[in-house]
Structure formats: structure tokens, C-alpha cells
Structure 1
Amino acid sequence: MKNRRVPNYELRALLTEAGWTQEALARAVNALGAEIGAALRYDRTAVAHWLAGTRPRHPVPQLVAEALTRRLARQVSPEAAGFTTAARRAAPVDPVAGFAALARADADAGRRPPLHQRPYRVADTVLPSPPEARGHGRPLGGRTEETMALHDAVAFFAGSIDAHGGRHARSALAAYLADDVVPLLHSGLARRARDEVLVGASRLAFLLARMYEDGLLHGVAQRYYTSAHRLAAEAGDRASWSVVVRAMSAQAQRLGHLPSALQLAEAAHHGARSAAPAQQAYVQAQLAVALARTGDRRGALAALARAERAAERATSQGAPFDSYPRAALHFQTSVTLESLGDLQGALASLRRAAGERSATDVRGRALTQARFGQLLLHTGHLDEACAAWDGFLTARERLRSGDAERAMRDMRRALTPHRNRKPAAELLARTVRGR
């Protein structure tokens, strides 16, 4: 820690405003650390040191500021919390410049650790309105001479996430963005061609965000999602913008920020009104989940019905971003119904999701089986739950996925009370051997 000369009166005032004890702030900082994959063990003693004038190492000032931001429901910067820093360069305003800076920092191994320690920021979930469509005549996102390599990269990295998990090939995609995509965006293309490249860059940034989210690095994932929606807006592509914002809603939901999740899902819904059926189904399915989680039963079921109608008109197979697998819709339907208290309907939808997962979607199959096991155990079916979890563990062996690791920890916690039953004991032993 680096000593300050005076006590941190700013932090003390914010603690008083928040109604927090020193121990409460320490717990909040530790919880935020878990969101970025950092195992922090701060207690009230550490906070007392901060109040006395010591400055914790990066990224703790940012974590403290985010914890207070969430508690006070207003933006608090590290400087406002009394952690003074040297003057920092302002973030680029231009979407391409911001994307270029992010990709280059990520590709530089020396700059990567601070980037990966960035916390998820609730304030960054407040977005502008959907972009104005530019009137391109035909939808963007097609395979053109300028975007052929980008399309191949999208297909490769999307398939890699499904087959191997988000922690596989992540640095390769970051390097590709920095070394190939950024120079292409600066190559002086004509307007239509540049817009096509912007959409391709947006899709690749979206995939890298998914990789980081699957690796449980939510702050840097949020930064890539932000770049992705800004690039789509720069191209005037409302459909692509809505797809990204929908994914941001799902991320906010999984982190427990339900008001942000609903706000983002509704923004995606408004932006996707004229999108292709597959994209509409993808957006409506998340809106259904967000509405269900916030207690709006009628709205959730209406959104689910819209998702079903759109899916009937869409293709379930095809290029990434142009299709929405039925298995994914069944999975979202299950989450919606479970949130509404319909456990039997949720189980039925999960059975359909498990049965329709593509053989190449190893990650999706694993996480579906893991959720199936949890829901079966919750409804009193231990043997069936263990059978589902057996399938999950088999698929997990092929994955490098933080979500799969978290699902395994959840499984172990759920099975521990049943460790004297043979199926549960065998699964628990198997997870110990597989570590």
C-alpha cells in the first residue's frame, strides 16, 4: 500500500452516506473481486487503514468506487472516494478509436492484467436510444469482398466457444482484433463497405465479450459489449445493436442487477422491431426472462409468445447471428417458467433443450444438463438429477469454461447433503478425481 499524508475524509463521508460499516464495505469489495476472478479477503481492518490514509493497490480503488456506486445509486469515482491518482488520459469518444485502444491493450500481455481487473459497472448499463437506421437498402452483415475473412473468423470463434468454452482461444481473438480488424477499419473504405466491416468488428467484439463472460471476467466483458454496441450504432445497424444489448441484459441479470437487466432488455426489444425473425426471437426470449425475474407474469408470457412466433419464422441453423437454435429458446423458456413458479413447465422445456442441443454445442449441452440436475433435485428426483449431472460432467471434461466450473461447484453444494446416497457419492468422488 502507498501511504497518504492525511486521513481519507471523502471515503468516511461516503460510508456514512451509504449507512455502511467498515465490515460491510469490505464484504462488498470482496464480492466485486469475485466478479473479476480475484479472491479478495479484506476485512474491517483493511478499511480502517484506507480511512487512515493508505491507498490500496489497483484495482481496489475501482472496486470501492463501484461498490459505493451500487449502494448509493449514483456514480462514485475512485477520486470521489478519496483515492487520488495521476491525471489520466480521457477515453476516446470515437467508437472505432475506443475499440482500437481496447483491442490493443488486450493484445499487449503487459497491459492485460489491469484491463482484466476492471469491475463491472452498473452505471455503464445506461445506454443511449437505438441508433437511427441509415437506410442501406439491404440489411448489413452479408458476406462481401471486404468482410469474407471477418465472416470466417466469426464462424470459427463462435464455434470455438460452443465446442471448447470461452477460455479457449481468447487471446487469439484479441490479437486478431488488434492486428487485422483495427487496421481494416482505418483503411479508407467506402461508406457501405466500411459499415459492413463495422458490423463484422461488432460481432467479433461481441464474441470476445462472451468469452470473457464465460471466463467470469465481467468487467472486461462489459467493455467489449460496449464496444460492440457502439460499433453497430456507428454502422447504423439497429438489429446488431439490439443483439448486443440483449446480451448485456443477460449479463446484468446473472450478476443480480435486475433493474438494469430489464432496462437493457426493453431497449433491445425496441431496437429489434424490424430485425430478422431469429434476432427477434433471441431478444424476446431475454425480455421474457427479465420480466419474469422482476415479477411481471403477464409481460413475461407475452414476450415468450412473441419469441415463439418469431422462432417459427426463423431458421434454427445457419451462420452465427443469423440463426437462433430452438434448444436455446427452450432453455430461456425454462428459466422464465421457473421464475414464474411453474417448475413442471420449466422441467419440460429443459428436457426439450437437452434433446435438441447440437452435438457440436458442447458448452450449451453441459450447462443445460447442469441446470436440469439442479431443477430435478429441487423437485425431489435425486436419481434423475444425478443422471443429468453425469452427462454434465462428461461434457465438462472437454471445456475450458468458468460457467462450467461454477456449475460444478453448485452441483457439489447441492449434492453434499445427499452424500450418503450412492449416486450422489459417486458423482462427488468423480469431481474430486477430476480436479
Structure 2
Amino acid sequence: MTHRRRPNDRLRTLLKEADWTQEALARAVNTLGAEIGCPLRYDRTAVAHWLSGTRPRHPVPQLAAEALSRRIGRPVTPEAAGFPVPWREPAGEDPVTGFAALCRSDAETGSRLVLQQRPYRVADARAPSPPALPEIPAQRPAADRDPASPGPPQAGAGGPELAALHDAARFFAASIDTHGGRHARSALSTYLADDVTPLLTAPRPSPSRREMLGAAARLAFLLGRMYEDGQLHGLAQRYYTYAHRLASEGGDRATWSLVIRAMSAQAQRLGHLSSALQMGDAAARAAQGLAPSQQSYVQAQFAVILAQTGERRGALSALATAERAAEHAACGQGGSPFDTYPRAALLFQTSQVLEALGDLPGAIGALRRSAAERAEADVRGRTLTHARFGQMLLRTGRLDEACAAWRRFLSGRERLRSGDAERALREMRRALRPYRNRRCAAELLALSVPLTEHS
């Protein structure tokens, strides 16, 4: 660390307001570093240096400000914490302009690292009001299209350009499932910067522009998923935010609901249950009237967060709603990855609900069925299901069965570039260490050593 300055009285004042010790701030900064894939090992001596005027390197000022924001309950900027920063995100821009700027920066190697080190911001983990349901044009009979879903491109409403965006969404969604979120991520960010954002600013009739905004929102959502799978939660949150803003601008209630649902799941996995519940409820309300598969997708996540916050009756009700919707969606769903919700994925979330409600045997049974029903191309989903299956089996004392599940996990893991799979690998090794004198555990620990060194 360099750049000596006078004592940082602003940071000292905020520490007092937060009722935090220097060690507590250091631990919080380390935790936020893990949320963006940036391992940190700060302790109280580092904070003492900051208080004496030493300026930490990027992204520590942003992480410290976010840590204080969460503790105090109001926004704290790096500047307010006594850390001047050379660059800050633009605020108040319209969604198209802001999204275009983000995509351009992400496509440039020099600025990408700064973006990837953006902290996840709890203050931004809130759902705004959903877009209104669009009116159905007279020339499109209601029977041909769900009133809340943008559906496939129509002749004269975007034409080949819009069709290309839908094709790209199918390609990148399939890539996440088959190869993991770290695969083709820079390809999607470059595609958005070079091909998609110019389409959003080009003059075009209002119906065509709305279709383009919806298609761009879905691609932004997919890039958010990629960054989330890469454990870069701050930048994932940024893309999710632009995805729901673009969807709202285009009046695309279906995409808006799916994005907010994903943001709920992200907040949940990071432990921000209040934010997850608010967004899960907003997504569930907005999803009423959508296609059955979309309702099932949203209600399943709502059930998970209700279960994790102790709302047993609400969780079981939401899960039942998700199951009924899935039954109605079983026939005739095709084409777009945004119009399908595989039963294996619903079973995975059923397992999460049952586990949170204390029904471990039921949760294990749902996971077993989820693994069996995963599509061959869904390598990521099947691999992560086996990883979680191993953890749950070990909790019930079934070491040999757990090791068998983890062997299947390791087999799938070799085919993926996925931060979630890397995290599951670390969790597996941590769970097996107490059993390292048992043959099956020792074999897995030995087999997985080289994998932990994969970047």
C-alpha cells in the first residue's frame, strides 16, 4: 500500500457510528472480497494503516464503503469514508445509455478488471415497480400469444435483427448449461457492445423497439448469470439491474419477473434474506398471468426464500403453485430458454424448500429425482445437483453414498468452467477432511487436488 495522507478522520467517525472495531471492519471487507471472487486477508493492522492515512488499493475503498453501508443502514460512498476514488459509476442515465456504456467498458480488457471488482450492493437489491401489462395488438389473436410474454419475433417487428438476438440467447443459454458461466463470457459482452447496443439506439417503430429492448434484456440477464456463476456478484448484479430496467422500458413483464426472480436467488445465496424476500414477492406478484413455465420458475424461488425465512405455510403454498403451473406447462413448451422450466430444476428447488423446513429425507429424495431427470446437455445443473446430493447424504451419515455422488460431481466438473462448481469442490474437500482416513474419502481428496489449482 502506498499514497500516504493525513489521518482518515472520516473513516474513524464511521467506525464509531457503526460501533465496529478495526478487526470487525477488516473481516467485513474480507467477506465482501469473497463475494466478487477477490480473496482478501486483512486484519486490524491494515485498518489501522487506513486510519493513519494510507490509501488501500482498488477495490478495497469500494468494499469498505459497502461494508459500512450494510452495517449503518444507509449509503456510504468511498469518498465519505475518506477514500478518494479515480472512477465512479455514472448515475441517473437512461437504461439504454447506461447499458451501452457498461457493455463497452466490459468489452475492453483494460477496464474489465475494475468492473469485475465492483462490490455487491445490498442497497441496490430491491425490486422497483413492474412494467404494466402491454395491450395486445388487434392483429395478434390472444390464442397465438401469452399477453405478458414477448414471444418469438414477428414479421415486420424487428425481422432478421430480432431473430438474431433470439438465436444468440438460445446459444448462450445452452453454453451456460453445457460449459458453465465462465465459458464464452467475453464473447457475449463483446456481442452486446458491438452488435446489440447499436440496435437499441437506432430509430425504429415503437413495437419493434419494445421487442429489441426485451431481447437485449434477456441477453443482459444471461451475462448476469455468467458473472454470478463466476462468483463476480457485483458485476452480475449490475447486469441484472440493467436487464430489468431494459425489460421495464420495453414493457416486457415476463422478462422483468424472471430477472427479479434471479436477483432474489442471488441475494438469498449471499445471505441477504430480507432483500431476497422482497424481490421474490415482487417477482411472484408480477408473474401472475404469465406462461405456466414462467410462473413455476418464479414461484419455486419464492417458496425457497419463504422457507428460509420461516414462513412454512407460505412456502408450501408457493411450492404447490409452482408444481401446478409446471403440470400445465408440461406439454407444448419449446423454443426459447425463457419459456421452459425443466422439472429437474423444479425438483432441485423443491429439495431446497424441504431442507429449509427440516424434511431432510424428503429433500434427499427430491434431489435424487432431480439428478435422474437432468437433460444430457445440462452438465452444469447435473454436476451441481450431484455436489449438493453428496453434502446432504453426508449429513445423514451415508459416507459411501456421498462419495459416489461426489465422484459423479467430479466427472461433470471436468467439463465445466464454473465458479459454482469450483465452490462446490472446495466445500466437498472441506466436508471430507474429517473422514480422510476412510478409503473412499481419501481417494476423492487425492483425486480432487489438481482441480483446486484450476483457475
Match of 2:353 in 1: 336
For 2:98, the aligned partner's letter is G
| Further displaced range: 48-57 or 287-296 | 48-57
Match of 1:361 in 2: 378
User: Distance in 2 between the 1:89 and 1:373 partners?
Assistant: 42
* Alignment pair present for 1:123 and 2:106: no
**Residue 244 of structure 1, CA deviation:** 0.1
Against the structure 1 CA distance between its residues 86 and 162, is the aligned structure 2 distance closer, same or farther, given a 3 Å change threshold? closer
Q: 1:23-42 residue pairs with structure 2 within 5 A? A: 23-42=23-42
For 1:80, the aligned partner's letter is A
Match of 1:387 in 2: 404
User: Distance in 2 between the 1:367 and 1:155 partners?
Assistant: 21
* 1:281-334 Cα shifts (integer Å, max 9, x gaps): 000000000001101101100000000011011146542000100000000000
Would you say the 8 A contact 1:142–1:196 is kept in 2?
no
**Residue 88 of structure 1, CA deviation:** 5.1
* 1:103-150 Cα shifts (integer Å, max 9, x gaps): 111001111110111000000012321122232445313223141100
**Number of positions where the alignment pairs a residue of Structure 1 with one of Structure 2:** 435
Match of 1:424, SS state, is helix
**Residue 91 of structure 1, CA deviation:** 2.6
* 1:222-250 Cα shifts (integer Å, max 9, x gaps): 00000100000001111110100000000
Q: 2:447 aligns with which of 427, 430, 434?
A: 430
Q: 2:245 aligns with which of 210, 214, 230?
A: 230
User: Distance in 1 between the 2:47 and 2:279 partners?
Assistant: 34
User: Distance in 1 between the 2:90 and 2:449 partners?
Assistant: 48
Would you say the 8 A contact 2:176–2:226 is kept in 1?
yes
Match of 1:321, SS state, is helix
For 1:154, the aligned partner's letter is A
Against the structure 1 CA distance between its residues 170 and 286, is the aligned structure 2 distance closer, same or farther, given a 3 Å change threshold? same
Match of 2:195 in 1: 180
Would you say the 8 A contact 1:141–1:199 is kept in 2?
no
Would you say the 8 A contact 2:127–2:278 is kept in 1?
no
User: Distance in 1 between the 2:433 and 2:90 partners?
Assistant: 50
Would you say the 8 A contact 1:317–1:324 is kept in 2?
no
**Residue 388 of structure 1, CA deviation:** 0.7
Against the structure 1 CA distance between its residues 150 and 29, is the aligned structure 2 distance closer, same or farther, given a 3 Å change threshold? same
Aligned residues: CA RMSD? 1.4
Structure 1 unaligned blocks of 5 or more? none
For 1:179, the aligned partner's letter is D
Against the structure 1 CA distance between its residues 326 and 336, is the aligned structure 2 distance closer, same or farther, given a 3 Å change threshold? same
Q: 1:155-194 residue pairs with structure 2 within 5 A? A: 155-194=170-209
User: Distance in 2 between the 1:210 and 1:69 partners?
Assistant: 25
Would you say the 8 A contact 1:245–1:265 is kept in 2?
yes
* Alignment pair present for 1:397 and 2:414: yes
**Residue 426 of structure 1, CA deviation:** 1.2
For 1:130, the aligned partner's letter is P
Would you say the 8 A contact 2:5–2:55 is kept in 1?
no
Would you say the 8 A contact 1:11–1:81 is kept in 2?
yes
User: Distance in 2 between the 1:391 and 1:317 partners?
Assistant: 29
Q: 1:107-122 residue pairs with structure 2 within 5 A? A: 107-122=107-122
User: Distance in 2 between the 1:67 and 1:419 partners?
Assistant: 37
* Alignment pair present for 1:322 and 2:344: no
Against the structure 1 CA distance between its residues 288 and 89, is the aligned structure 2 distance closer, same or farther, given a 3 Å change threshold? closer
* Alignment pair present for 1:242 and 2:257: yes
Match of 2:140 in 1: none
* Alignment pair present for 1:283 and 2:293: no
User: Distance in 1 between the 2:368 and 2:238 partners?
Assistant: 35
Percent of paired sites with the same residue: 68
Q: 1:59-70 residue pairs with structure 2 within 5 A? A: 59-70=59-70
* Alignment pair present for 1:79 and 2:115: no
| Further displaced range: 323-332 or 68-77 | 68-77
**Residue 216 of structure 1, CA deviation:** 0.3
User: Distance in 1 between the 2:233 and 2:337 partners?
Assistant: 22
**Residue 85 of structure 1, CA deviation:** 4.0
Against the structure 1 CA distance between its residues 81 and 407, is the aligned structure 2 distance closer, same or farther, given a 3 Å change threshold? same
| Further displaced range: 126-135 or 237-246 | 126-135
User: Distance in 1 between the 2:185 and 2:298 partners?
Assistant: 25
Match of 2:110, SS state, is coil
Match of 2:55 in 1: 55
Would you say the 8 A contact 2:179–2:379 is kept in 1?
yes
* 1:49-107 Cα shifts (integer Å, max 9, x gaps): 11112221211111001001111122111111122346857335211111101111100
Would you say the 8 A contact 1:317–1:325 is kept in 2?
no
For 2:18, the aligned partner's letter is A
**Residue 165 of structure 1, CA deviation:** 0.3
User: Distance in 1 between the 2:450 and 2:290 partners?
Assistant: 48
User: Distance in 1 between the 2:243 and 2:304 partners?
Assistant: 23
Match of 1:408 in 2: 425
Q: 1:303 aligns with which of 318, 321, 334?
A: 318
Would you say the 8 A contact 1:136–1:192 is kept in 2?
no
For 2:78, the aligned partner's letter is P
| Further displaced range: 7-16 or 302-311 | 7-16
Match of 1:94 in 2: 94
Would you say the 8 A contact 2:306–2:314 is kept in 1?
yes
Structure 2 unaligned blocks of 5 or more? 138-146
Match of 1:153 in 2: 168
Would you say the 8 A contact 1:243–1:268 is kept in 2?
yes
User: Distance in 1 between the 2:392 and 2:433 partners?
Assistant: 16
